[in-house]
Chains A and B, each alone.
Chain A
Amino acid sequence: DIQMTQSPSSLSASVGDRVTITCRASQAITNSLAWYQQKPGKAPKLLLYAASKLEGGVPSRFSGSASGTDYTLTISSLQPEDFATYYCQQYYRTPLFGQGTKVEIK
């Protein structure tokens, strides 16, 4: 079975900071990776799919990249509305989510 390891589990950052979150797959998943944002008490929201494709309506400060089995979500300049928990999800096989990264205000 494919395993997904997301890091860090939490981070503290300030408005305007550049933030990077990483997911590592246990095997090749050929960019079949999505990123979601979840705010407390709300449903997850799709941000990116196919590792780097931005979902419609998502601000361009969000971007995704891939290197081998490592996938990265970058927020170029953190905004107040970006404080949330972020999840990666592989869909190369049976959907599996990473453990989540909580982005908190420093």
Chain B
Amino acid sequence: QVQLVESGGGVVQPGGSLRLSCGASEFSFRSYGMHWVRQAPGKGLEWVAFIHSDGSYKDYADSVKGRFTISRDNSKNTLYLQMNSLRTEDTAVYYCAKDWRRGLSGYDPWAYFDCWGQGTLVTVSS
């Protein structure tokens, strides 16, 4: 059973930084692109970032471009999201999600998500 487990959420002041992690198991992590999707309290879903399976291509939502960095370590089966210059509007549950496409195709984030982690809450507040 594919498993994704996020960690690293917490409370941070505006302007602060936080790094989220997502550990993957029971599938060939290095073969799939990965995404971060967030959900503000009581709100809908918002795609945040994508990284290609080999880490060579990344894309971001305009709302986080220049502040967030997605990365991965295929040797550790782990996905990361470095969040800098955090704003109150970044408060949300952050989910990592597996891209359905396998292999070296997909140098774009245009995908649906066939597996999600349980999410980690990030609260930006003074």
Q: Indicate whether A100 reaches chain B with its CB closer than 8 angstroms.
A: yes
- B44/A97 in contact, CB under 8 A: yes
**In whole angstroms, what is the CA distance A95 to B112 when docked?**
8
**In whole angstroms, what is the CA distance A46 to B59 when docked?**
22
Segment at the interface with B among A14-22, A60-68, A71-79, A85-93? A85-93
- B47/A97 in contact, CB under 8 A: yes
**In whole angstroms, what is the CA distance A99 to B45 when docked?**
8
Q: Indicate whether A83 reaches chain B with its CB closer than 8 angstroms.
A: no
- A43/B114 in contact, CB under 8 A: no
Give min CB distance, B83 to chain A, whole Å: 19
Given A44-B113, A45-B116, 19 extra CB contacts under 8 A: A36-B45, A43-B118, A43-B119, A44-B45, A44-B116, A46-B112, A46-B113, A46-B114, A49-B112, A87-B44, A87-B45, A95-B37, A95-B113, A97-B44, A97-B45, A97-B47, A98-B44, A99-B44, A100-B45
Q: Indicate whether A96 reaches chain B with its CB closer than 8 angstroms.
A: yes
Closest to B48 in A: A95
Give min CB distance, A101 to chain B, whole Å: 10
Pick 7 A–B contacts, CB within 8 A, sort by A: A43-B116, A44-B116, A55-B114, A87-B45, A91-B112, A94-B109, A95-B111
Which A residues form the contact surface with B (CB < 8 A)? 32, 34, 36, 42-46, 49, 55, 87, 89, 91-100
- B116/A94 in contact, CB under 8 A: no
Q: Which of B74-126 contact A (CB under 8 A)?
A: 95, 100, 109-119
Taking CB atoms, residues of chain B closer than 8 Å to A92 are 110
